[in-house]
Amino acid sequence: MDNVSSCLRNNDYINAIAAVCHVNAVFGGENRIEFNTTKYHQLTNATLMKVCYHCKNETSSQDVRIRHLMLPFIESVLYKNKFRDCWDCPKCKKLNYLDVTDFVQETFTTPRYLGVVPEPPKIQYGIVGRKDFEMQARNWIRLALDEISFSLGVERREYVPVSDRDEMIDDDDND
């Protein structure tokens, strides 16, 4: 972590990104955060809430299943499609059409950790490219460090000193 801050102080974003990757690589399996742009966008999209037209309740997009409703002839002509996507509100059980559904972003009272951040930005050449890169790098580093410090907390809680582990084994033997 010291290495990350010293690189940032020198505006050395390339090495700051490398240092963040290095800190992350030291982690064990499940606590290591993943650099995956597609997965990150999928996870953050999943926090979109669908608003029911009838009861106005909000439902997480993950909790609703989209159905393809076959339309009566007149409507199918009107929509130029035999089917219309719809979903059932889990609260009032009424049918909503996806194309007219309102979405709201789910708000979290506490920070939420995903274990995934986008892939680190790549250096672009030219003055404008460089400025964009620096901004992207600062944003990415902030995001990655948030995730990493959360992961560090998890790692510390899960860590059982070797001496304690021996005691636990002894207890089992006594049973």
Residue numbers at the binding site for Zn ion (CB under 5 A): 52, 54-55, 89, 91-92
Smallest gap from residue 87 Cβ to Zn ion (A): 10
How do 95-97 and 83-88 pair as beta strands? antiparallel
> Phi-psi region for residue 49, left (φ > 0), alpha (ψ -120 to 50) or beta?
beta
Nearer to Zn ion, 18 or 92 (CB): 92
Cα 162 to Cα 96, 154, 156, 165: the distances in Å are 56, 18, 14, 5
Smallest gap from residue 94 Cβ to Zn ion (A): 5
Smallest gap from residue 86 Cβ to Zn ion (A): 13
Nearer to Zn ion, 85 or 132 (CB): 85
Cα 104–chain centre separation: 17
Nearer to Zn ion, 56 or 112 (CB): 56
Nearer to Zn ion, 20 or 89 (CB): 89
Smallest gap from residue 58 Cβ to Zn ion (A): 10
Helices (H), 63-126: 73-78
